Structure 1
Amino acid sequence: MTEPETTAWSWGYTGYDPSAERLREALCTLGNGYFATRGAAPEATDDGLHYPGTYAAGCYNRLSSTVHGEQTRTVENEDMVNLPNWLPLRFRGQEGEPGSGGPDTAWFSPDADRLLDHRQTLDLSCGTLDRDTRYEDARGRRIRVRQTRFLHMADPHLAVLRTVLQAENWSGAFEVESGLDGEITNSGVPRYRDLAGRHLTGVTTGTAAPDTVWLRCRTSESAVRIAFAARTTADPRPAADRLEPGTAQAHRTLYLPARPGRPVTVDKTVALHTSRDPAIAGPLDAALDRAGAAPGFEELLESHRTAWRELWERAELDVPGEAGQILRLHLFHVLQTLSPHTAELDVGVPARGLHGEAYRGHVFWDELFVLPYLNLHFPEVSRALLDYRHRRLPRACQSAREAGRDGAMFPWQSGSDGREETQELHLNPRSGRWLPDHSRLQHHVGSAVAYNVLRYCEATGDTEYLHTKGVETLVQISRFWASSAVYDPRPGRFRIRGVVGPDEYHEGYPGAESPGLDDNAYTNVTAAWVLARTLDVVRALPEPRRRELFEATGTEEDEPERWEEVSRALHIPFHDGVISQFEGYGRLAELDWEGLRRRHGDIRRLDRILEAEGDTVNRYRASKQADVLMLGYLFPPAELAALFRRLGHTLDDTVWRRTVDYYLNRTSHGSTLSGLVHGWVLARARRAEAWKFCREALESDVADLQGGTTEEGIHLGAMAGTLDLVQRGLTGMEPRTGELMLDPAPLPELSEYGFSVRYHGHWGVRMQLTRGRLRIDVPESDEPPIRLVLPDRAVTVEPGESCVLETPEH
């Protein structure tokens, strides 16, 4: 596979490699927070080598499928819908004058014609994808094609494609066909292809003279109406053209002169609207109006560049070298998925971005890795993402009631309305078997939601949100945990049974008839933290607001006493002097790691390997990703130690390091999040080994380390997490109400870098880390000074002032 060619602000590929096209298409996706389009060539179709895909944030549809496993079953899945393809633009040559005769060659294609040169470049500074290609057809005629596309970052309903064609050694005419394609299915993930994927229905097309075609349709079950309008113009003016509406496709065909050295330019401006949009009479009228009123290419490009420049100013990141190039690409994709436009939408954090169909576009716990970054740059986006959860709080409460619990039980996978979207069966591609999927037992997602509420409020000082929607969410999650905890008199502790932890490999005990594990340490510790922090918030409320809150949430007056009790007495299992991943983990068998590596090479997906061999990972002390060690990712050392003290345990440096070593040797890293968490934790526990995992987190998508997964959609949590590793992990920065905590732990490989953050009312607080020094510049404002708290001292910095701190290089 061709390696990418990069500069500080570009990501490109030279040469055409069909086997790598789908990966490149994912990494070259363009978006603006409202919708995104994969980086497929405009002439490409879903042919196994390419996969054009366009996805609007929050646009889902539900279909039923028949699965033939040990028994035939009907399953229901909700997917983020692959929308009609707005890209199609193809071209071919003909002899004679434009429009004088039929074409004498097939449409040009990189898979059919001789490719003389090919380069594709993603310009990160302004969100454009550029392509420069030279073809030679069977008759020896050469053509150069230069294309630029962008999804407008100022007007999120617009997309633009400019194509410049130039004949090199022949004369005649170009026939150019620009259109919209509604004959689209969700078929971008091979293991889903046996399931229903035709989400669009009622496709109709039409024309709006003199230069526009349109297409409208709706989703089959959710009834979201979708409309595209495409305006195509050319310079010089076409000698002939025609508008061609069809059943599921619509085109404008242009005939343009082809002369050596005389380029012709074709501009395609597309507008997208759906019935989810506010302030429109209907999607089709809105799309036609927007496409018709849109200015020309140059003006649109200028306003698009301005919008991107403003984004980069708010998300300033200056890291030297290759790591900095990858981090900037990660930030680019985070901003394309969750831009300020997202703050206007009812959407969550799609785990695979808007870049493909893996995980069906569902919302998991990945916001746990995304919001800490956004909180310090785009807090309005963070708040909107929290609102997505709050709007679905009633559905989470209904799920809890159906499970016999109080409060709110958030789903492991969420989509349109907040019901549990986790599939009941999943396919193991290695064995071809459909297996029960128990990952819906990952109730720790509720703690992730609560964590994000609290950390957002600490980073922004948004007490209004904390005391309204925030505390409502916290209370319902606390009620769920308190009702889930059952007192066991033998250890004299509360226990939470029948769950699955972040590890995901272990879904039950060996030979057990029912799924679930008891006392997953991560689940119990985070539940205790949520209960304790909720108590703090509730007790700080004015009495009238507290009374109103309890009435609205159905909370009894004595429930906080239960929260206090449970938060101090949840059972945390230990074995061999380390924290147990769950009760009984230490009694599982050890795995022959080296033997498996000799037989299989890459064993990241250990669960699939063992199942294909007739075994189960449930029998072994083996983890897919960080589970217990996630605690070291979420909580600074002092806070984690205090949390364990509250639970009646001593977690000193020796116990923690022993725990880190134990799980480091028993983790297969079958998730892109694993390297991130291990790098974060090891930066403080075993610094010499940290960079190996940090680098794996950086390269997980750009090098497709999981083996074919990135082409189905980037891993948004891992990308945002690497940004936060630089921002908070290595600086030890923890925004708290009234103070900014700092405890730098720089790595030799990342010892000099700078970034800006937004803290409470301060915009653009600049931090620059160099070897042994941390400089903080606070811009002038009317805001109060910032109190910086380090392990050995505290410093106050006034607006308009700077501070240089000497930091240990341990």
Structure 2
Amino acid sequence: MDPWSLVYEGFDPEREGLREALCTLGNGRFATRGAAPEAVADGVHYPGTYVAGCYDRLTSKVAGQELTNEDMVNLPNWLPLTFATPGSEWFLAGTAGLLRYRQELDMRHGVLHRLIRYRDAEGRITSVRQRRLVSMADPYLAALETTFTAENWSGPLRVRSALDGRVTNEGVARYRDLRGDHLTRHATGTRGDLTWLRARTRSSGVEIVLAARLDVSPDVAEPPELERHDDLIAETRTLGLERGRPAGINKIVALTTSRDLAIADASSAASRRAELAPGFAELLERHEIAWHDLWERARLEVTGARIQRDVRLNTFHVLQTLSPHTADLDVGVPARGLHGEAYRGHVFWDELFVLPWLTLRFPEIARGVLRYRLRRLPEARAAARAAGLCGAMFPWQSGSDGRDETQRFHLNPRSGRWTPDHSHLQRHVGLAIAYNAWQHYAVTGDMEFLAGTGVRLLVEIARFFASLARLNPASGRYEIQGVMGPDEYHDAYPGAPAPGLDNNAYTNIMTVWLLLRTREALDLVPRRAREDLCRGLGLTDVETERWEEIARRMRVDFHDEVISQFTGYERLAELDWSRYRHVRRLDRALEAEDDSPNRYQVSKQADVLMLFYLLTARELRRILDRLGYPPPPGVIRRTVRHYLSRTCHGSTLSAVVHAWVLARTDRAGSWQFFTETLTGDLTDVQGGTTAEGIHLGAMAGTLDLVQRCYLDLEARPDGLHLNPVLPQHLTTLSLCVRYRDAELCIDADPTRVRITRADDGPPALDVAVHGHHARLRRGDSHVFPLPERRAEGEPPGPGVPP
């Protein structure tokens, strides 16, 4: 197996959607699904091109309700290219006499290859080779190279290339009752040798322009046949094929929008870029150089060709969604990448699983994503005020401007019913933003970031959660009521007239963590700058003193020496798991039976266990101690066992968290969860969802598992600490990270860790491995011996005390 390639042999209509998602090519600004160039949306194929941050809002009437949704827009299709031998119909893979059909995703170079051999009705055999790229060197360009060889015949071959604006958003079956006609005001035309197509989104008014140039080899003397409509422009060329002699046609495309920087207008910019673009060979060379540089920074080498291939596949798709080009854009982390239309391209809390990996590799990208949140701070403040609260209430689903895009109704495909959706009550998205802001400073040491973006986000989010917390005179504890936790299956108490739960443990404990870290962040800012910040934010000692009180008196519930997910959790019934074995979406199964997960101790994904994913055991113990809940021995292990046995893993993120929390106490179980999430999209573990877009959080989460969990890598005030215990299946691990502006190469095996520092960054860095400290100067290398591998459960690891 080539660990740089994903290969598919044969044409498989039932798996075409999955392949299209996994063979998507992108550069962080835009991406195009791996659909066949000759394909149209027909239930088998789904061409899709998406520009990061390009959204549009439409109102639909469904089941008597008016629903307004903002979607990431499927843009005009630049791919269309098909061909026909004399007297034959245009080629379609599903109807042609295929002799061979092969797709290969070359991840090293960011190129999608396709090989076709087919026989037409007259017995003529033609081979077709295609290479496709979405340029990582120039984020406005894409290209398709097609080479034809007539194997047993000579004669004319017609080739038809088009720009197609007749597209809608219809890539997710359960959304098809909703409007998807986001594009309007189409126009097409020619400019010299170029063809162009322009369209505009209906409500957001974003203008999108495609301009295409065809380079034909050998040259074709005859002028092209032109077909022009308002929403489609096509040109047909006739190639004179000679038996055994290749002939090619290259399609170079520029995609611009009215949101782009440094343009006069989208139309002239697209034409100019397409006109000035080099030929395919030079485009490919520049593209490969850009990918080489990315892979140097993203290097993560593990044992075994298959595991290595899967790690690279996840890395590849993370970097195609969030590349260095993204750092200059005003975009967040779309939960399903730029690979499809699931979740409407919205930004959830998935950055909690994505940014830790990026921060240690590409801090400029992570910083750009956090600026996306900072720019939407006014909208988050307005949402808090509308709810009668303080600070900033970030929405569960965000899109273009930071308004709450969370749906209010959900279609259950099992029952066909639209039911109320209360997921907007997941206030914990703000905790994820704050966590990432703090981690960014901890890893980079960027005081300019902390004193600007970091503190502003932390303070406003802290204000919000402090205003959510209300003192209950009966218990003398602060409580947070009427929210949902990460579990997502529980949105109300059984029979309650209103949605919401009280004292979700994850929300309450992370609120305490947030208040403590915000105070610490303020203390780190130099005095004069801190005074200016507090004055600008209107932050007073009275307010921070209340934070201190909440951080000592927050309520946390327990039952049977286990942390309770929320108040009253222990009163819920136990589910008859024998009836629902292997059912991942229990909410849909139960609703179809007129039942609800609100009645049961079941979880879609990790909730309480998220605490052990984000916090070390040391941090968690300190928080519980200061709250007056000294944790009894073994509470974390009991809590892990309790919820693990009651979780159906209806989210791909669930396996990431469980792999993490089991890393030291159950290495075999951790590895099983790791491999499941590592290959979750490749195997389509959720049964059809990958075709709608990859699961970016799970992909990045697996990379972070290898990087931070299995190395137990932690950025502390006194330096970078590692306490690795590699799984038995990872006998070697090699990677590069950036810490405090220095590049560190880490090579680990079961007996030792070597850390080598490049000649950059500060004069000296402190690192520690299993408590053994070293100060690394520029160019230094140090070998740390590891203790003999102990029995499972020792030594303590992330979130798991001895």
In the superposition, the TM-score normalised over structure 1's length comes to 0.96
Distance 2:642 2:672 in 1: 17
Residue 782 of structure 2 corresponds to residue 787 of structure 1: no
Q: Name which of 402, 423, 427 aligns with 1:443.
A: 427
Q: Alpha-carbon deviation of 1:553?
A: 2.6
Residue 216 of structure 2 corresponds to residue 216 of structure 1: no
- Between the two proteins, the alignment pairs up a number of residues equal to 787
Residue 71 of structure 2 corresponds to residue 79 of structure 1: yes
**In the alignment, what sits opposite 2:620?**
640
Cα deviations by residue, 1:529-588 (Å, 9 ceiling, x for unpaired): 001110112233344433432333333441000111111211111111100111111110
Cα deviations by residue, 1:512-538 (Å, 9 ceiling, x for unpaired): 000010000001111110011101122
**In the alignment, what sits opposite 2:249?**
266
SS in 1 for 2:188: strand
C-alpha distance 653-187 of structure 1, shift in aligned 2 (>3 A): farther
Residue 706 of structure 2 corresponds to residue 722 of structure 1: no
Write the letter of the residue equivalent to 2:578: E
Write the letter of the residue equivalent to 2:255: L
Q: Alpha-carbon deviation of 1:737?
A: 3.9
**In the alignment, what sits opposite 1:524?**
508
Cα deviations by residue, 1:758-783 (Å, 9 ceiling, x for unpaired): 111212x1111111211111122362
Please list every run of 5 or more consecutive structure 1 residues that lacks an aligned counterpart in the other structure: 1-5, 95-103
Distance 1:664 1:15 in 2: 40
Residue 106 of structure 2 corresponds to residue 140 of structure 1: no
Please show how residues 14-93 of structure 1 align to structure 2 within 5 Å: 14-68=9-63, 72-93=64-85
SS in 2 for 1:116: strand
- Is contact 1:573-1:579 (8 Å) kept? yes
- Is contact 2:725-2:750 (8 Å) kept? no
Q: Alpha-carbon deviation of 1:788?
A: 1.6
Q: Name which of 418, 440, 443 aligns with 1:459.
A: 443
Please show how residues 533-552 of structure 1 align to structure 2 within 5 Å: 533-552=517-536
Distance 1:472 1:155 in 2: 34
**In the alignment, what sits opposite 1:98?**
none
SS in 2 for 1:684: coil
What percentage of aligned pairs have identical amino acids? Answer: 56
Query: Cα RMSD (Å) of the superposition?
Result: 1.2
Q: Alpha-carbon deviation of 1:795?
A: 2.5
C-alpha distance 653-159 of structure 1, shift in aligned 2 (>3 A): farther
Please say which of residues 740-749 and 338-347 is displaced more in the overlay: 740-749
Residue 499 of structure 2 corresponds to residue 515 of structure 1: yes
Write the letter of the residue equivalent to 1:85: N
**In the alignment, what sits opposite 2:800?**
none
Distance 2:25 2:157 in 1: 28
Residue 156 of structure 2 corresponds to residue 186 of structure 1: no
**In the alignment, what sits opposite 1:100?**
none
Write the letter of the residue equivalent to 1:171: S
Write the letter of the residue equivalent to 2:144: L
Distance 1:781 1:22 in 2: 45
SS in 1 for 2:411: strand
Q: Alpha-carbon deviation of 1:643?
A: 2.2
Distance 2:392 2:667 in 1: 39
**In the alignment, what sits opposite 1:291?**
274
Distance 1:22 1:184 in 2: 17
Structure 1 moving runs of 4+ over 4 Å: none
**In the alignment, what sits opposite 2:235?**
252
- Is contact 1:88-1:181 (8 Å) kept? yes
Distance 2:432 2:340 in 1: 24
Q: Alpha-carbon deviation of 1:742?
A: 1.2
Distance 1:244 1:114 in 2: 28
Cα deviations by residue, 1:431-461 (Å, 9 ceiling, x for unpaired): 0000100001000000100000000011111
Distance 1:555 1:779 in 2: 42
Cα deviations by residue, 1:165-206 (Å, 9 ceiling, x for unpaired): 111222221111111000110000000001000000101000
SS in 1 for 2:205: coil
- Is contact 2:772-2:784 (8 Å) kept? no
**In the alignment, what sits opposite 1:116?**
99
Please show how residues 390-429 of structure 1 align to structure 2 within 5 Å: 390-429=374-413
Q: Alpha-carbon deviation of 1:652?
A: 5.6
**In the alignment, what sits opposite 1:176?**
159
Q: Name which of 339, 343, 347 aligns with 1:359.
A: 343
**In the alignment, what sits opposite 2:739?**
759
C-alpha distance 40-747 of structure 1, shift in aligned 2 (>3 A): same
Please show how residues 297-446 of structure 1 align to structure 2 within 5 Å: 297-321=280-304, 322-446=306-430
Write the letter of the residue equivalent to 2:626: R
Q: Alpha-carbon deviation of 1:687?
A: 2.3
C-alpha distance 658-782 of structure 1, shift in aligned 2 (>3 A): closer
Cα deviations by residue, 1:57-82 (Å, 9 ceiling, x for unpaired): 000000000011xxx11010000000
Distance 1:653 1:445 in 2: 31
Distance 1:682 1:158 in 2: 44
Cα deviations by residue, 1:655-702 (Å, 9 ceiling, x for unpaired): 100101101100000000011110011002322321111111111110
Write the letter of the residue equivalent to 1:230: A
Please say which of residues 488-497 and 711-720 is displaced more in the overlay: 488-497
Write the letter of the residue equivalent to 2:610: M
Cα deviations by residue, 1:237-296 (Å, 9 ceiling, x for unpaired): 124223333221011210111222011100000001101111100001000000000111
Please show how residues 697-708 of structure 1 align to structure 2 within 5 Å: 697-708=677-688
Please say which of residues 419-428 and 318-327 is displaced more in the overlay: 318-327
Q: Alpha-carbon deviation of 1:653?
A: 5.5
Distance 1:697 1:353 in 2: 16
Q: Alpha-carbon deviation of 1:596?
A: 2.2
- Is contact 1:239-1:255 (8 Å) kept? no
Write the letter of the residue equivalent to 2:208: I
**In the alignment, what sits opposite 1:10?**
5
**In the alignment, what sits opposite 2:143?**
160
Distance 1:737 1:289 in 2: 50
Distance 1:319 1:740 in 2: 22
Distance 1:517 1:139 in 2: 69
- Is contact 1:239-1:256 (8 Å) kept? no
Q: Alpha-carbon deviation of 1:645?
A: 1.8
- Is contact 1:673-1:718 (8 Å) kept? yes
Cα deviations by residue, 1:25-68 (Å, 9 ceiling, x for unpaired): 00000000010000000001000000000000000000000011
Distance 1:139 1:553 in 2: 77
Residue 492 of structure 2 corresponds to residue 502 of structure 1: no
SS in 1 for 2:634: helix
Distance 2:764 2:626 in 1: 33
Distance 1:166 1:400 in 2: 64
- Is contact 1:212-1:252 (8 Å) kept? no
Q: Name which of 194, 197, 216 aligns with 2:180.
A: 197
Residue 782 of structure 2 corresponds to residue 803 of structure 1: yes
Q: Alpha-carbon deviation of 1:135?
A: 1.1
Please list every run of 5 or more consecutive structure 2 residues that lacks an aligned counterpart in the other structure: 791-802
Write the letter of the residue equivalent to 1:714: I
Distance 1:520 1:791 in 2: 34
- Is contact 1:407-1:477 (8 Å) kept? yes
Q: Alpha-carbon deviation of 1:93?
A: 1.3
Residue 665 of structure 2 corresponds to residue 692 of structure 1: no
Distance 2:631 2:313 in 1: 38
SS in 1 for 2:663: helix
Distance 2:518 2:354 in 1: 22
**In the alignment, what sits opposite 1:579?**
563
**In the alignment, what sits opposite 2:799?**
none
In the superposition, the TM-score normalised over structure 2's length comes to 0.97
